[in-house]
Amino acid sequence: MRELSELYQLGLQLIELELEAPRNEYRRVMPPRMASAAIPFVRSQELSGAEPKPRSASRRISHALFRHHISRALGLQPLIEIVSSVTQHGASRVLRVGSASGLLGSAIDRIPGSHVWVSAAGMSTGNFAKAFATAPTFDLCICDLDYAELLELSSLVAVITPFMTARGTILAYHCNQVLAELPPDAALVTGVRRPGTVHIYRTGFWPATFLVPFLRRAEYLYDTRKYLELSRSLLKVAIRIVVATPIILLRQFLVPQRSPLHLRKSIVIQIVLA
């Protein structure tokens, strides 16, 4: 019975994968659906690209020592490398969609030029162009998406594409901060027809994404000079790491296909438009 159940589940997955291609083709040919008549709020600014320096000495030291390690742990390194490569070719008009993780600010702020921010929900309304007297075009689009927005990536790309220049680049980043299984590559609908234009990077280290909420709280306590609460918060984080690590490693050994080391990873999707 167990073997039959496993075969049944495998058959269902194969059927879903076979249906994914016609579903994608159907969604591609359908015109974007207007979900709302409201004009989305957009924020525009010109950035010099200068990297801001931390104010305190302790932050400057930690920034210099651990910045690259933190970027790799959070799965940001592929995105940073792609952004650096694109901007070297003169990209200066950036569309920023969503802010689910809030981790992309320092990476994107280093791009000099015109930046326009809009929420993922606002972009999905189909009324983005109505927020401007003349519809803008962008060289680079960077999306910071939550899990639900990641699953609707194809629809979001379809709405973004008309505002991109030829050979423009769309980047989507998702930081898996909850115990959720990320969809396989085949299920990540991008809406791009030509092969070779989509690259998917599964990176990051699960403790980093797991600790993001606690580190944000620690930063808030430090900024508000609540040092006693900060010490307690850091102690709780240390206890969580010490207690959880053996359990997670044991689970990885027993059930590797379902281990948090597989589930808790960031994902970066690069789409180069033709």
Is residue 239 in some structural domain? yes
The answer to whether position 37 is within a domain reads: no
Are 182 and 77 part of one and the same domain?
yes
Give the phi and the psi of residue 110 in degrees, each rounded to 5: -80, -5
Nearest to 45 by CA among 108, 117, 105: 117
Q: Looking at the structure, do residues 56 and 181 belong to the same domain, yes or no?
A: yes
Q: Is there a single domain that holds both residue 222 and residue 187?
A: no
Number of domains in the chain: 3
Do 110 and 244 share a domain, yes or no? no
CB atoms within 10 A of CB 42: 17
- 0.75 surpassed by pTM: no
Q: Is the dihedral of CA 197, 117, 156, 184 positive or negative?
A: positive
Residue 240 lies in a domain: yes
CA–CA separation, 179 and 214 (whole Å): 16
Full pLDDT tens readout for the chain, 274 residues:
778 777 777 777 777 777 777 777 776 776 655 556 688 999 999 888 766 565 555 555 555 555 566 666 677 888 988 988 888 877 689 999 998 888 888 788 888 889 999 999 999 988 999 999 898 999 999 999 988 898 888 889 889 999 999 888 999 999 887 666 777 887 776 655 555 588 888 887 666 666 666 666 666 666 677 777 777 777 776 776 666 666 655 655 555 554 444 555 788 999 988 7
Domain that holds residue 117: 42-204+265-272
